[in-house]
Amino acid sequence: MALQSATINVMTAAARKAARGLLRDFGEVENLQVSKKGPGNFVTAADIKAEEVLREQLERARPAYSFLLEEAGHIEGSDKTHRWIVDPLDGTTNFLHGLPHFAISIALEREGQLVAGVVYDPVKDEMFWAEKGKGAFLYDRRLRVAARHDLQNCLVATGIPYTGRPGRDVFYRELQIVTDAVAGIRRSGAAALDLAYVAAGRYDAFWERDLNPWDIAAGIVLVREAGGIVGQIGGAAITLDAPSIVASSEALFDPIAKKLAQA
Ligand code: IPD
Ligand code: CA
Ligand code: CA
């Protein structure tokens, strides 16, 4: 049985509380799907509401900590050495279309280092969590990245840059190179879950460009603590504002990161 620290308890409790509202709103989206106006504004409101709940809960438990929130931005607390990095709803497009694949992502940074991460998928009720030096878990099951060494049998996840964003051409080249080398590609629409799934060995690897700190912070902790590597295309070390991310097992990291760099 994995013993959760007080920090992880705070994070999972906050995620659960925000998830209740998201689940209610997700049910409502299905009704709005058929209305002419569509669920767009409603989803934005659900997203903001979830973020407020997360902020409230985290602040109540750790009043001095700073925040980086997707919607509200930077909030400086009196303790500048600790920062929560929060995406209240990762997978907004899925949510908007009534597709049950989205998550809440919360990471904790201490003195510039990521030390804890929680990614919670409310629909599947899957709570992924990890703490630096203590391992990665799905509830109390220890997670390990997949053991596959041969690219040709690998299942690899990615994200497609949105229309109008730079990097589409290079993405199509990357996609072709990777597609030719592996067993299958998935684009699930929630980067935090893509990373959690790499940690859980469901995906062998994941790459994407132009993500934001809140998309990847918790997932980075999960992958590292599951024995995997997170870096950039080409192989450089990951940072929260890196232009790309690659995550996989140790064995696959170099082959994939270098293949992608050929694009
Ligand atoms: C998005 C998702 C998606 C990724 C996008 C992100 P959001 O986050 O993680 O998988 O491809 O680039 O922006 O907007 O749903 O929080
Ligand atoms: Ca996101
Ligand atoms: Ca989001």
How far apart are the C-alpha atoms of 153 and 149, rounded to whole Å? Answer: 8
Question: Is pLDDT of 1 > 70?
Answer: no
CATH class of residue range 6-142: alpha beta
Gap from CA of 216 to ligand 2 centroid (Å): 8
How far apart are the C-alpha atoms of 69 and 106, rounded to whole Å? Answer: 9
Residue with CA nearest ligand 1 atom 14: 92
Q: How does residue 40 score in pLDDT terms, banded at 50, 70 and 90?
A: confident
Q: Would you give the DSSP letter of residue 203?
A: S
When pLDDT is averaged across residues 44-71 and rounded to a whole number, the result is: 97
CA 199 to chain centre: 11
- Within 6 A (CB) of ligand 1 lie 87, 89-92, 159, 189-191, 208, 211, 215
Break the chain into its structural domains and give their ranges: 6-142, 151-261
How far apart are the C-alpha atoms of 89 and 126, rounded to whole Å? Answer: 15
- Which ligand 1 atom minimizes the distance to the CA of 188? 10
Q: How does residue 2 score in pLDDT terms, banded at 50, 70 and 90?
A: confident
Give the pLDDT confidence of 251-263 residue by residue, as tens digits.
Answer: 999 999 999 999 9
Percent with pLDDT over 90 in the chain: 89
Gap from CA of 9 to ligand 2 centroid (Å): 22
pLDDT value, residue 33: 73
Q: How does residue 164 score in pLDDT terms, banded at 50, 70 and 90?
A: confident
Residue with CA nearest ligand 1 atom 2: 190
Question: Is pLDDT of 34 > 80?
Answer: no
When pLDDT is averaged across residues 33-62 and rounded to a whole number, the result is: 89
Going by C-beta distance under 8 Å and a sequence separation of 6 or more, which residues neighbour residue 163?
none
When pLDDT is averaged across residues 229-237 and rounded to a whole number, the result is: 96
Gap from CA of 180 to ligand 1 centroid (Å): 25
Residue with CA nearest ligand 1 atom 7: 90
How far apart are the C-alpha atoms of 146 and 72, rounded to whole Å? Answer: 36
pLDDT value, residue 153: 97
DSSP of 130-160: EETTTEEEETTEEP-------GGG-EEEE-P
pLDDT value, residue 43: 86
pLDDT value, residue 38: 73
Q: How many C-beta neighbours within 10 Å does residue 187 have? A: 11
Gap from CA of 102 to ligand 3 centroid (Å): 9
Block residue for tokens 């460009």:
209
| Secondary structure of residue 234 in the 3-state scheme | coil
When pLDDT is averaged across residues 59-69 and rounded to a whole number, the result is: 98
pLDDT value, residue 206: 98
Tell me the best of 43, 90, 93, 160 to mutate to test the pocket of ligand 1, counting ligand atoms within 8 Å of each CB and taking the most: 90
- Which ligand 1 atom minimizes the distance to the CA of 159? 11
- Contact predicate 196/103, CB 8 Å: yes
Region label for 178, one of left (φ > 0), alpha (ψ between -120 and 50) or beta (otherwise): alpha
Average pLDDT, the chain: 95
When pLDDT is averaged across residues 181-195 and rounded to a whole number, the result is: 98
C-alpha separations of 202 from 7, 19, 115, 148, 223 in Å: 26, 23, 23, 11, 12
CATH class of residue range 151-261: alpha beta
Q: Would you give the DSSP letter of residue 77?
A: -
Phi, psi of 157 (to 5 degrees): -100, 155
Least confident residue range of 38-42, 93-97, 170-174: 38-42
Q: How does residue 125 score in pLDDT terms, banded at 50, 70 and 90?
A: very high
| Secondary structure of residue 166 in the 3-state scheme | coil
Gap from CA of 39 to ligand 1 centroid (Å): 18
How far apart are the C-alpha atoms of 24 and 214, rounded to whole Å? Answer: 23
Beta strands in 20-112 (DSSP E): 65-69, 73-75, 79-90, 103-110
- Contact predicate 248/134, CB 8 Å: no
Question: Is pLDDT of 166 > 80?
Answer: no
Q: Which helix (H) or strand (E) holds 110?
A: strand 103-110
pLDDT value, residue 72: 95
How far apart are the C-alpha atoms of 196 and 30, rounded to whole Å? Answer: 26
Question: Is pLDDT of 248 > 90?
Answer: yes
pLDDT value, residue 90: 98
Percent with pLDDT over 70 in the chain: 99
pLDDT value, residue 32: 79
pLDDT value, residue 168: 87
